[in-house]
Structure 1
Amino acid sequence: MRDLNRLELAGESVRAALESLAVAAPSWLRQAVPVAEWELRYATRVDSWRLPASKTKRDRLAEVYGQDAHRLLHALHAPDAPVWLREIEAVQLLRRIFLQTYLRDDRRPGTGGGQEAGGRG
């Protein structure tokens, strides 16, 4: 149950941040992330559909949510991103949830390091 709640929280935090950014800075959002692809994933609230029953599929979905959150947060901290976007409440919440939920493993081939960032994993 805890893993399902964490999965819903991860997906819903990305969705809420995207929704807030779509209202606050729609043109920035369109150029920063693949909106068409993400619209399919985040068009409806995560708790409005049934999560995968298989642990493998849930793990993959959690990985996708984490990758999307990382990409969005990276775009928000790019030099050309308006600083005020980072102050949006849903964006700040996404950052906190991402840090608490995901552990980045820079030791994988091609990532160039051995540092860990984030939370529990």
Structure 2
Amino acid sequence: MAEPAIIADQRAPDGGFVPDLCQPRAVLAVVVGAQLLALLLALAQPLEADRFWPRLGLWSLALQWVGLIGTAAAVWLGLLPAGAALLGWLMAPNLMLTALVAAVVLRLTHLRHAARIHAQGHHRARLEPLQALERG
């Protein structure tokens, strides 16, 4: 029988619904997926040539860590009889923490944007009289 082409179709040896994430192909898919996401996130930020590679490295490190540890946790929890319930209990605090961090980041982004708008208005208010003097 030919090997399934899609990783999600590779079932665990016990016939469970969790794919066999211990296979090298599955680990490679997690690593490549995390790296592509890191590249996408690094490119999504304002492009500064001297900061791109350190930013990509940090994104890569964080996402590889999360991807591989998450895969290992899924494999470990898949071996336990109550793995799904335990995974739910483990994910709830992580989701709350993620929501909290996202809220803080959105607030800081909003404050930064408001400060930038305020500074632009202040600079414009100082520049207009000077330009009026130059014209008149």
TM more than 0.5: no
| The structure with more radius of gyration | 2
Flag the structure with more relative contact order, 1 or 2, with Cα contacts below 8 A and sequence separation at least 6. Answer: 1
**Greater helix proportion:** 2
Which one has the bigger strand percentage?
1
Give TM-score scaled by structure 1 length: 0.28
